[in-house]
């Protein structure tokens, strides 16, 4: 009897690539700031998730805040890059978290986005393997635990954890 592949398991080259990214940022940026957006299509009660090429699992779009960028500017840039999503009104800051998964120096601003447009679906590229909207009651297999926690905090009234 064979077991199904684990959707959260990384390939060795992807693990190495992720480790090299973390080493680079450790040397270049002693503390990192990031953003993630919970993009909620209220009409269809669905959310936008991405699956990267270099880390396992389905997760919320987002990324690092660049020097000279605000959190909202960073979120707008990341949503456009990762999902062809354009903000049409300011997002709502829901919480700020310490992400201890990769390092003990990564902080993430978490936003709810309900005012946006997406003119064309995101096509796979070197960073994004898959992306799309999923009904809240039918998230894809392999949705990361942190993503599920943020969804529960927003839609189920769970208390926000200080940790990602």
- Can you give the pLDDT at residue 52? 97
Assess whether pLDDT exceeds 70 at residue 3: no
Helices and strands per DSSP (H, E), number in the chain: 3, 9
Closest by Cα among 47, 144, 156, 42 to 102: 144
51-102 residue pLDDT tens: 999 999 999 999 999 999 999 999 999 999 999 999 999 999 999 999 988 6
Q: Which residue has the tokens 């680079």?
A: 24
Give tens-digit pLDDT for 15-41.
Answer: 777 777 767 766 666 788 999 999 999
Cβ proximity of 73 and 50 under 8 Å: no
- Domains in the chain, start-ordered, CATH in brackets? 30-155 (3.90.79.10)
Q: Phi, psi (5° rounding) for residue 30? A: -60, -30
* Residue 147 CB-density burial (10 A; 0-12 exposed, 13-18 middle, 19+ buried): buried
Taking the C-alpha atoms of residue 86 and residue 65, their distance in angstroms, rounded to an integer, is: 17
DSSP category for residue 120: S
Interatomic CA distance for residues 58 and 62, integer angstroms: 12
This prediction has a pTM of 0.82
Q: Tokens standing for 74? A: 């960073």
Model pLDDT for residues 101-145, shown as the tens digit of each residue: 867 889 999 999 999 999 999 999 999 999 999 999 999 999 999
Closest CA to 106 of 27, 50, 25, 161: 25
The answer to whether residues 99 and 33 touch, using CB atoms and an 8 Å cutoff, is no
């Amino acid at each position: 009897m064979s077991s199904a592949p684990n959707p959260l398991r990384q390939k060795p080259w992807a693990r190495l690539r992720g480790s090299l990214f973390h080493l680079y940022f450790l040397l270049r940026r002693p503390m990192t700031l990031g953003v993630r957006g919970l993009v909620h299509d209220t009409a269809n009660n669905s959310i936008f998730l991405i699956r990267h090429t270099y880390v396992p699992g389905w997760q919320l779009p987002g990324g690092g805040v660049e020097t000279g960028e605000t959190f909202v500017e960073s979120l707008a840039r990341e949503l456009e890059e990762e999902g062809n999503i354009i903000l049409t009104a300011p997002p709502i800051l829901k919480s700020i978290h310490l992400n201890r998964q990769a390092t003990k120096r990564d902080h993430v601003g978490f936003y709810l986005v309900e005012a946006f447009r997406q003119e064309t679906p995101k096509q796979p590229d070197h960073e994004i393997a898959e992306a799309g909207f999923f009904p809240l009651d039918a998230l894809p297999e392999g949705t990361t635990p942190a993503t599920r926690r943020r969804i529960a905090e927003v839609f189920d009234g769970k208390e926000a954890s200080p940790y990602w």
